[in-house]
Amino acid sequence: MAPKENTQWYDLYHEVVDTGLCTGCTACIVACPFHVLGYEDYRPVQLQEDGIDQCAHGDKGCSLCTLACPRFREWEGEIDQQLFGATRSPEQVIGFYKDIVLARAASPEVLAHGQDGGAVSALLIWGLEHGEIDGVCTSKLSDGREWDCEPAVVTDAEGVLAAAGSRYTYSANPLAMLKAAEMGLSKLALVGMGCQASAPGSMAARRVNKWAKKVNWTLGLLCSKSFTYEGLMVEIAQKELGLSLDDIVRVNIKGKLLFYTKDGEELTYGLKKSHVYTRPGCLHCPDFAAEHADISFGGLGQGEGWTLTIIRTDKGQDLWDRAVADGVVEWRPGSDDQGAIDLMHKLAVKSRERWRMDTPWSTPGVVPVSEEAPAGAGTA
Ligand SMILES: Cc1cc2nc3c(=O)[nH]c(=O)nc-3n(C[C@H](O)[C@H](O)[C@H](O)COP(=O)(O)OP(=O)(O)OC[C@H]3O[C@@H](n4cnc5c(N)ncnc54)[C@H](O)[C@@H]3O)c2cc1C
């Protein structure tokens, strides 16, 4: 349900952007029909010259940026209602789900390209080849900066495989929806971390239909943070570990930062020490488990080469069942790796504690509601 009063950029700026709750997902920029929002330092900026919190279109009644935002006011409950027909209880720290499995691509080529089990890429290729989707909004390695990444649209298996694997800097994948629309694509898969995977849900819940209707699948990535490029690739990789960027073949996070080189070397760096390089937009994000995706995927498994897969929506269950029946992915029950599921819960609780305690609206379940909070707060 849309916020009751007519909200606009002024409200979005003061309640989300300026308070540090903005993750930089770019849903507002995609939804803006007047193209007056730009993107700088992972934040939306008003391009008009009237003042950073002013929007002439907002003053005339346009509210699409605020409606699209997956962090605006009672976002979590509104999206839960839209996708699952209910709001979660405080105990549901990883959100609603139907099943948890360990999955991997059946194709050795896809498995080799994937970050964990290649399950995301396997489903994307299957979806493109069977006409379930006509394009994928995801990220690719950046053309400009080595080991950085940027939003991209891919439409075939080759593109999916070139984009596979994880980069731990931020790519605002929803922004690729603008390019996809220019390309005439209208049955998209959106891949992204929780901040991004909630965007189709907020758009649908608040009737930003033009964009909500373009996304057929939302595939989420578990995520506790991303890093600034300067922090991860310059300070840690190059200065502290002495790596040359063109020697790195893979970066991963498994309790610590792991850098793999062409020579087969593995260099590690402590996660605690890396905290200072966290991208500011991640600091207050409460969503570890990509809780509004159709299916969410993570690398928490104790064994290499499998993707921890959380099937959430009816649509997610349906596409998963059909992909399994077609032999695209192999799976084992999640209970084979209870340690991974327990860790996911632990990390989800930790992330939920990051939601700003002094924010009187949109209070995710485990955060206590302040007595001073206005009526209606804390219903998420
Ligand atoms: C920034 C980040 C943080 C993560 N943190 C965790 C974590 O803490 N715990 C955990 O269990 N899992 C985490 N993951 C998820 C994990 O790394 C894998 O993406 C997931 O297990 C799926 O593996 P796969 O082999 O099935 O995916 P693949 O088949 O390799 O597909 C991965 C997809 O992710 C897209 N992608 C890669 N990098 C980015 C990026 N920076 N931004 C947006 N999209 C991207 C690719 O384009 C591709 O479409 C994180 C992922 C990212 C990108």
Residue 364: its pLDDT value, please? 55
Residue nearest to atom 18 of ligand 1 (CA): 298
Task: Report CA torsion sign: 105, 110, 112, 114.
Answer: negative
Pocket of ligand 1 (CB under 6 A): 114-121, 138-139, 149, 163-169, 171, 173, 191-193, 221-224, 226, 253, 297-300, 307
Spacing, Cα 54 to ligand 1 middle (Å): 36
CB atoms within 10 A of CB 115: 20
Residue 365: its pLDDT value, please? 46
pTM of the entire predicted model: 0.94
Spacing, Cα 170 to ligand 1 middle (Å): 11
Residue 304: its pLDDT value, please? 84
Q: Average pLDDT for consecutive 10-residue bins of the chain (380 residues)?
A: 76 96 98 97 91 94 98 96 95 97 98 97 98 98 93 98 97 98 98 98 98 98 97 97 96 93 96 96 96 97 90 98 98 96 96 75 43 24
DSSP-assigned states of every residue in 144-159: SSTT-EEEEEE-SHHH
The CA R_g of the chain, rounded to the nearest whole Å, is: 20
Residue 6: its pLDDT value, please? 87
Spacing, Cα 219 to ligand 1 middle (Å): 10
**CA pair distance 110, 93, nearest whole angstrom:** 31
CB atoms within 10 A of CB 68: 26
Residue nearest to atom 34 of ligand 1 (CA): 166
Beta carbons within 8 Å of 34's beta carbon, 6+ residues apart: 57, 62
